[in-house]
Amino acid sequence: MSRYFNANISKKRIKRGNSPYMYEITRCETIFYSSIPETDGDMYVISQPGDRLDLLANQYYGDISLWWYIAKANGLTFMTLKPGTSLRIPATTQYAIGK
The pLDDT score that the predictor gives to residue 57 is: 95
Q: Block means of pLDDT (10 residues each) for the chain, length 99 residues?
A: 61 79 73 81 96 96 93 91 96 79
Q: Does the residue 32 lie in any domain?
A: yes
Strands (E), 16-85: 22-28, 43-46
Provide the β-strand partners of residue 27. 10
Total domains in the fold of the chain? 1
Provide the β-strand partners of residue 63. none
The pLDDT score that the predictor gives to residue 32 is: 65
Q: What is the DSSP letter of 68?
A: H
Q: Does the residue 34 lie in any domain?
A: yes
The pLDDT score that the predictor gives to residue 4 is: 58
Q: Does the residue 58 lie in any domain?
A: yes
69: left (phi over 0), alpha (psi -120 to 50) or beta: alpha
List, in order, residues 6 or more apart from 59 with CB less than 8 Å away: none
Q: Does the residue 83 lie in any domain?
A: yes
Q: Does the residue 76 lie in any domain?
A: yes
Model confidence, pTM: 0.68
The pLDDT score that the predictor gives to residue 98 is: 62
Owning domain of residue 47: 9-89
Amino acid at 19: S
